[in-house]
Structure 1
């Protein structure tokens, strides 16, 4: 290529071209251009054509913004779902889809448009497949990094057999112990060490979405990292996965954690393209017999919360659709049978589409509610829910508290007592109102409360959305 440039522009010396290459790399930004990539841009500035120069097969590290007719080979790490949007200039509907590919040197996004978005499904592509991308063109992504786009003359071909020069996904696997710094497009395996949960949020496109949040630990349980998969597709999750299950996350980022929200260790973040592989998971949900411990509040989304226990005394938080049962039909101590839609750790979802619930006769093999009852002197800091009967000793006090997330919420507290001691009761957010309704001298039964460390490190009771407060006569 240098020889071609010198033939077409004999007034230039190799040293001058070298200077032009360095200047182009400085202007574009470090890390985005190889010398060859910069040479293409310099040639374009000088009006020099390489049409008659034999093309060299490039690796992913060699692509650069502005390149055309790019042909590269890579292994698929992630295939994102189709995203539709409205074009600003024409108000027309358009569709796009992203594939992440990698080789031994780099990882690059490949953008499919309109009719091409169905190619991964039509070709049966999946993570680990090696593909050849033919005649793509390169544009800058939102982060400034090069993205290969497929135009009308572009194509994707599958490569038969394996290429030992491109690392397998298994060979990229990291464990919780080996994470020492930020990473992109990482493959990480760990053990789910705390109850996973789904949370609702509004994503950057203004759409209602959900995130899967987990605590993932090493085998010894000595190191735990927070993991969040944003814009998660529930249909791609197993119906059942519990604490202790192994999970492999393919295509995630490792970021430095914020000490304000956790222990300051690294955090794992994924998105809708992240592949989750679970061990010890099952697709078929069996009938669950349970005893109701408490009936809590409405969620505001057509369902209400309950706390229930299985035969071994393990507790589960139930989200019950109002079409399956009402909160009046279920009462503390009642036996039920249910087929859940999903079980995430100790969170059980009963939706109207694929669940049922019915009240059954009492089963003596199940623990009675007395198993959860505690006197105040026996209460210790624990997330295990309990049942407490006590008398309200103080007028409830309410204060506005700013959380770590910057949210201002009401918090109401009061003092309870029984014949063994006294303890503080606290209600946050919606539960604040339940505490505020109490009066001095009320005898109450609290079901499904947990115990945390409060003032001066002393244990205090906390109402949960699944807790119930009953005045006793």
Structure 2
């Protein structure tokens, strides 16, 4: 077990060789309070959670400890992570999670959604849109000879249109969508595609929910 002292002489760490202290910006990890926007569960049973705090910061929370099994989408939680790097939060057996009373200062999914015409490269977004074209699926050969599944669909809202892509496991999420469906997509990353156009790419934290 380690002891942290943050004194005038800097941060003292007392522990054995196996002690690992994760520090972000000179501070030890602090509790994260966020609303759960979406939960996806991997084949291995690991929860991948998209959360948002009261400053509209989006968090990618990876739960290796099953400590979020009591949580549902829309819940406000407080978690003490074992590791924080940027907007990535890791929970393991040394972490704790508890549900809090609803906090109106933390936005809901409907309040955090972004219009397509407001999407900028490198941002992480949640959108709601209608599927304009039947999803296309194909296999891409890499330089190493590996065959990777890619699915993409063309969607729009009342402000614009955009391509949404999914690689490997995320391609299967797109395959389930159909022409004319209204869908909610959480946790997509905006990238610069061909001819400088912006595209949205699904991540491990993405979830597609059909609205109609």
Q: TM-score range by the shorter chain?
A: 0.7 to 0.9
1:330 to 48, 53, 72: 72
CA RMSD of aligned residues (A): 2.3
Matches within 5 A, 1:126-141: none
Q: How does 1:233-252 map to 2 (within 5 A)?
A: 235=18, 237-241=20-24, 245=25
2:59 aligned to which of 308, 316, 323: 316
Q: Report the CA distance between 1:306 and its aligned residue.
A: 0.9
Task: Say whether 1:295 aligns with 2:39.
Answer: yes
Taking the aligned partners of 2:168 and 2:23, their CA distance within structure 1 comes to 30
| Cα distance, 1:305–1:392 mapped onto 2, change above 3 Å | same
Look up the SS of the partner of 1:441 in the other structure.
coil
- Counterpart in 2 of 1:357? 97
How far is 1:425 from its partner? 0.8
Tell me, yes or no, if structure 1 residue 414 matches structure 2 residue 150.
Answer: no
Based on CA coordinates, which of the two structures has the bigger radius of gyration?
Answer: 1
Matches within 5 A, 1:341-380: 341-351=82-92, 353-380=93-120
TM-superposed deviation, 1:403: 4.2
TM-superposed CA distance for 1:412, in Å, is 0.3
Change (3 A) 1:238 1:299: farther
**How far apart, in 1, do the equivalents of 2:78 and 2:142 lie?**
38
**Offset at 1:431?**
0.2
Secondary structure of the equivalent of 2:203? Answer: coil
State the 1:405 CA deviation: 6.2
Q: Give yes or no for contact 1:393–1:415 (8 Å, CA) kept in 2.
A: yes
Residues 323 and 369 (structure 1 numbering): CA distance in 2 closer, same or farther, change over 3 Å? closer
Aligned pair count reads 196
Identify unmatched segments of 5+ residues in structure 1.
1-233, 246-279
- Name the SS of the counterpart of 1:467 in structure 2: strand
User: Over residues 31-55 of structure 1, what are the superposed CA-to-partner deviations in whole Å (9 max), with x where a residue is unaligned?
Assistant: xxxxxxxxxxxxxxxxxxxxxxxxx
Instruction: Name the structure 2 match of 1:428.
Output: 167
Q: Offset at 1:426?
A: 0.4
CA deviations on 1:136-169 (whole Å, 9 max, x unpaired) are xxxxxxxxxxxxxxxxxxxxxxxxxxxxxxxxxx
Change (3 A) 1:374 1:323: closer
- Aligned match for 1:286, one of 30, 33, 44: 30
Question: 2: CA distance between counterparts of 1:235 and 1:385?
Answer: 35
CA separation of 1:325 and 1:454: change in aligned 2, threshold 3 A = same
- Residue in 2 aligned with 1:16? none
Larger RCO of the pair (alpha carbons < 8 Å, separation 6+): 2
